[in-house]
Amino acid sequence: MKKLVRFGVSLDHHLLDDFDRLISRKNYTNRSEALRDLIRGNLVGQEWDENKETVGTITFVYDHHVRDLTKTLTDIQHGYQRLILSGMHVHLDHDHCLEVLVVKGKGTEIKKVSDMLIGTKGVKHGKLTGTTTGKGLS
């Protein structure tokens, strides 16, 4: 069984008021849970910085009428298929498509393929969202 440790934190009252509003907006039940999430978020970011095995999603929107864009995006994905666990393709309208790729691997490799995909001419917007495999996180 994990040991629960209580500790005190001193904050400027304005900062605490802002934190309480954040807690309310995000529907946390208490400050402790919100603080645990902030700490975990920082630790997850550190996993990416240390190039540990991570997971995440690469999401991007593009105009499929751009010449050779679909082929280029597919070729990039095939070149990094060892990192891509799954993908979803959605037709947003007559011109635009959304792709969401679930990726797993070293942070630097995932960032590289994400930058390649999002930076491809014809991709209108994209974002890499990184998270953790959960190993070693309490």
Each residue's pLDDT tens digit, 13-23: 999 999 999 99
Query: In 87-118, which positions are buried (b, 16+ CB within 10 angstroms) versus exposed (e)?
Result: eeeeeeeeeebebebebbbebebbbebbebbb
The domain spans of the chain are 13-49, 53-132
The answer to which of 6-10, 74-78, 99-103 has the lowest mean pLDDT is 6-10
CATH H-level, domain 53-132: superfamily = ACT-like. Chain A, domain 2 (3.30.70.1150)
Band of pLDDT at residue 1, cut at 50, 70 and 90: low
Each residue's pLDDT tens digit, 47-85: 776 778 889 999 999 999 999 999 999 999 999 999 999
Q: Is the pLDDT confidence value at 4 over 90?
A: no
